[in-house]
Amino acid sequence: MAKSGPAPTINDVARIAGVSKKTVSRVINRSPLLKQATREKVEKVIAELGYTPNPQARALALRRNFLLGLLHDNPNAQTVLNFQEGVLDAIRDTEFALVVRPVDRHSPAMLDDIRNFLELQRLYGVLILPPISENDELAALCREMGCGYVRMGSAALDEAEHLVQSNDREMVEAVVDYLVELGHERIGLIEGPAGFRSAFERREGFLAAMKRHGLDMPSEALVQGNYRFNSGVEAAHQLLSENPHVTAIFASNDEMAAGAYHAARERGVDVPTDLSLVGFDDSPIAAHIWPPMTTVGWPIREMAKAAALKLVAPDTAEAQPSNFPARLVTRNSVAPPAKKI
């Protein structure tokens, strides 16, 4: 182990091992043209000294920092935090660190801000969460600035090396199948906001499944929210007012689904007896609300880890999957329909 005092530098290692700095540098960077004996000798000294290359010096020389950035404007705190944990799973015990950078999608200066940020911090790469990950200009900016990037999304937004994706469309189809199997025929949809690819995918999956089952989908049974709780309350009220025969509602995320619970209570509609509700995300609120909510869960943490590995270990990047399966989490917010028309 290292003694206390100033940390050993590459010079110390070189001197003690009796080789040049460059040779030590080659060992660190796994240069292939090194004699095995030399490598082992140097590695022994490195271990004895507890030497770790100084990231600041490397950053200066390489013009590139050992920092991964997390760009996000996701409204779901748990999603963001799970993602952070996943990234840290990937970079634990490496010299990398994770810097976070919330962005404001609505600011006209957003791209310029990010440009400055990337230029200043010289990040090794960035991980981009939805919905901002759907912005192609942002991806182009990363490419232009020579900054690695991986986007997380609910559709094939980019090439495999720049993407980890969940298949939202398929999952929502599965949700509808499940509801239909239980006997539901009049199902409402609270969709997410325009401009969110996830909202688009989820709606398309819903509509496709309804059509496949030959089920009627009147336009009043589709109401738009903005992914926030309150919009779910309002959307559910509107949907239930215009469409009293609906026996189930799928909301495009858990927060809006929780809003729908809220509206149902205000109207004296019992969940799930009078109305089945399904959300999307499997966020904590789904488990904590009453009755516990049936929803769709996706493996954020694993996706985050894979995304980070694509950036920091490009050699194994090929081995990292880009597609991640979601799963239906059945709890108690769904029951066979009781209502008769």
Count other Cβ atoms within 10 Å, centred on residue 211: 12
Nearest Cα to Cα of residue 166 among 324, 299, 283: 324
By CB under 8 A, tell whether 91 contacts a copy of itself.
no
Which does residue 331 bind out of DNA, a copy of itself, none, counting CB within 5 to 8 angstroms by kind?
none
- Quote the least distance from Cβ 331 to a copy of itself, whole Å: 12
Integer Cα distance of 93 and 90 in angstroms: 9
Q: Which of 125, 148, 188, 259 binds a copy of itself (CB under 8 A)?
A: 259
Q: Which of 120, 159, 318, 340 binds a copy of itself (CB under 8 A)?
A: 120
Whether the CB-CB separation of 276 and 250 falls below 8 Å is answered with: no
Which does residue 193 bind out of a copy of itself, DNA, none, counting CB within 5 to 8 angstroms by kind?
none
Q: Are strands 97-102 and 67-72 parallel, antiparallel or unpaired?
A: parallel
Which does residue 328 bind out of a copy of itself, DNA, none, counting CB within 5 to 8 angstroms by kind?
none
Residue 146 CB burial class (10 angstroms; 0-12, 13-18, ≥19): exposed
Produce one character per residue of 10-48: b if its CB has 16 or more CB atoms within 10 Å, e if not. Answer: bebbbebbebeeebbbbbbeeeeeeeeebeebbeebbee
Which does residue 37 bind out of a copy of itself, DNA, none, counting CB within 5 to 8 angstroms by kind?
DNA
By CB under 7 A, tell whether 88 contacts DNA.
no
- Per-residue binding string, DNA, 45-64, x by CB under 7 A, is ------xxxx-xxx-xxxx-
Q: Within the chain, what is the greatest distance between any pair of CA atoms?
A: 88
By CB under 7 A, tell whether 245 contacts DNA.
no
Query: Could you give the C-alpha distances from 1 to 8, 18, 21, 44, 283, in angstroms and in order?
Result: 11, 20, 21, 12, 43
Give the interface with DNA as residue ranges (CB under 7 A): 6-7, 9-11, 18-23, 25-26, 28-29, 31, 33-35, 37-39, 51-54, 56-58, 60-63
Give the interface with a copy of itself as residue ranges (CB under 8 A): 7, 52, 54-57, 59-60, 63, 65, 67, 77-78, 80-81, 84-85, 88, 95, 97-102, 117, 119-122, 229, 255, 258-259, 261-262, 265, 284-285, 287-290
